Amino acid sequence: MEISLLIFDDSLSDSNKIKSFTQHLETLLKHELNFSLEVTQRVDDSMLDSDLMTRNFHVILIDDDLGNNHWGNQIIDKIILITDNTPEVAKTPKVYYSAGTSITDLKEKTKHHGNIPCETFDNLAEFVFKLIKSKYYK
């Protein structure tokens, strides 16, 4: 099975941050579940409608600080609006993360949407792996 992730992060795709995350997750998926990984990375929400309407993602990851005064919780708000009319997207797990913002602050920013998991970047690969394993591994 190929796992498809949509990641909103302002780091360039060749940055060490995203590269190390995807390599770690890819290794876990391959060795533990025999799954492969496909990653679509966006730095903003300019392709959001198109991405969500044309692709089926297994998990959507949203960084808190997207640079240039753009914030992940604004993208979550837009995703929630889209999912009001698209039940398939509503079922896609979303994870809000940050390398610098506390979990408490992340939860505060998303509390009006209910239970969106919040994680530190350091724990993100393991968290996403466990999420994928519990939801898609039979």
The structural domains of the chain, with segments of one domain joined by +, span 2-136
Token digits of residue 39:
């990653």
Rounded Cα distance, 99 and 50, in Å: 28
Whole-structure pTM value: 0.92
Rounded Cα distance, 67 and 42, in Å: 12
For residues 14-42, average pLDDT: 91
Rounded Cα distance, 118 and 127, in Å: 10
pLDDT tops 60 at residue 13: no
* Structural contact between residues 110 and 65, judged by C-beta atoms closer than 8 angstroms: no
For residues 5-27, average pLDDT: 86
Which CATH number applies to 2-136? 3.40.50.2300
pLDDT of residue 68: 82
pLDDT of residue 132: 97
Q: Of 34-38, 64-68, 101-105, 117-121, which range is least confident?
A: 64-68
pLDDT of residue 12: 62
Closest by CA to 19, choosing from 11, 8, 10, 28, is 11
pLDDT of residue 14: 47
Residue 26 to residues 70, 73, 83, 118, Cα–Cα distance (Å): 28, 26, 28, 21
Q: Would you call 123 exposed, middle or buried from its count of C-beta atoms within 10 A (0-12, 13-18, 19+)?
A: exposed
